[in-house]
Amino acid sequence: MKRILRLGLFSGLLVAAITSCTPLRVTRTSIAQVTDLSGRWNDTDSRLVAEKMLEEITNAPWLAKFQQTHLKKLQGLLSEENEMEQALVYSERKPVLIVGTILNKSHEHIEADTFIKDLERALIKEGEIRIVANSMFREKLRGERAGQADFVSPETQKRLGRELGADYMLFGAINTIIDTEGNNKVVFYQVNLELADLETNELVWIGGKKIKKYKGRGKKIKNKYQGKVPTV
């Protein structure tokens, strides 16, 4: 019995020694490549959410409605000679959006900022919607402008009271549902985003993205969920 214990201990130490001597290898891969190591939320999920939200938010009726409303205002201003300057401003008017709180109600630590920044970047590139800084960065910008009033030459000072007011606020939540059986697990992620008119509190758009993942060992889980689990 003691001999068996010694052999087991020796084998364990030998495996540990070999593993510790194995050099760590790092391989660079394409950011577009789907890599699921742990089965948890990852960069691919973040990218898919951002792409889906961009598609939905730019094709929803609220954007066309906003453009039509301001076109009527522009036409009204053009009919008055003393309102030409204001009409010029309206001619370049695009909806202004600010990102509010994205709550993580899931069981994982998920950085919502990742897909939000992807979404903001895509919206700015799209050019139909303007994005303003959130409350945290807005305070930093205001502090910088206040400092310029005391220390910067008048020619290059940035004036107070010239901020771009937001028309809409984007907010939402990330939720998960977990189903387990033995060592097998299915995780269902649902990201819901809502867009509200800041003046009227009206919800003008609700979008969502669902992702389902299953992880386990052996053929059991593969056969059980074959053809039933959509790819992300």
Question: Who contacts 151 (Cβ-Cβ below 8 Å, separation ≥6)?
Answer: none
Report if residue 206 sits inside a domain: yes
Report if residue 131 sits inside a domain: yes
Q: How confident is the model at residue 173 (pLDDT cuts 50, 70, 90)?
A: very high
Q: What is the dihedral of CA 150, 154, 156, 157, to 10 degrees?
A: 50
Residue 158: give the domain boundaries: 40-225
Q: Is the pLDDT of residue 172 over 90?
A: yes
Q: Taking the model in full, what pTM does it have?
A: 0.72
Helix, strand, or coil (residue 50): helix
DSSP assignment of 113-147: HHHHHHHHHHHHHH-SSEE---HHHHHHHHHHHHH
> What pLDDT is stored for residue 231 in this prediction?
43
Computed over every residue of the chain, the mean pLDDT equals: 78
**13-33: b (≥16 Cβ within 10 Å) or e:** eeeeeeeeeeeeeeeeeeeee
DSSP 60: S
Report if residue 174 sits inside a domain: yes
227 residue type, one letter: G
Give me the number of domains the chain comprises: 1
CB 124 within 8 A of CB 194: no
Q: Which residue has the higher pLDDT, 165 or 82?
A: 165
With tokens 């074959």, the residue in question is 226
In total, the chain counts a number of residues equal to: 232
Report if residue 182 sits inside a domain: yes
Q: Is the pLDDT of residue 48 over 60?
A: yes
Tell me how far apart the alpha carbons of residues 205 and 219 are, in angstroms, rounded to a whole number.
Answer: 42
Helix, strand, or coil (residue 223): helix
Q: Is the pLDDT of residue 155 over 70?
A: yes
Tell me how far apart the alpha carbons of residues 141 and 137 are, in angstroms, rounded to a whole number.
Answer: 6
Report if residue 170 sits inside a domain: yes
Tell me how far apart the alpha carbons of residues 73 and 26 are, in angstroms, rounded to a whole number.
Answer: 58
Report if residue 92 sits inside a domain: yes
Q: Is the pLDDT of residue 91 over 70?
A: no
Q: How confident is the model at residue 161 (pLDDT cuts 50, 70, 90)?
A: confident
Report if residue 145 sits inside a domain: yes
Taking residues 109-115, report their average pLDDT: 84
Q: What are residue 170's DSSP bridge partners?
A: 99, 195
Report if residue 33 sits inside a domain: no
Helix, strand, or coil (residue 99): strand
End-to-end CA distance of the chain: 52
Give the model confidence (pLDDT) of 181-193 as tens digits. Answer: 877 888 899 999 9
Pick from 128, 120, 125: nearest CA to 67: 128
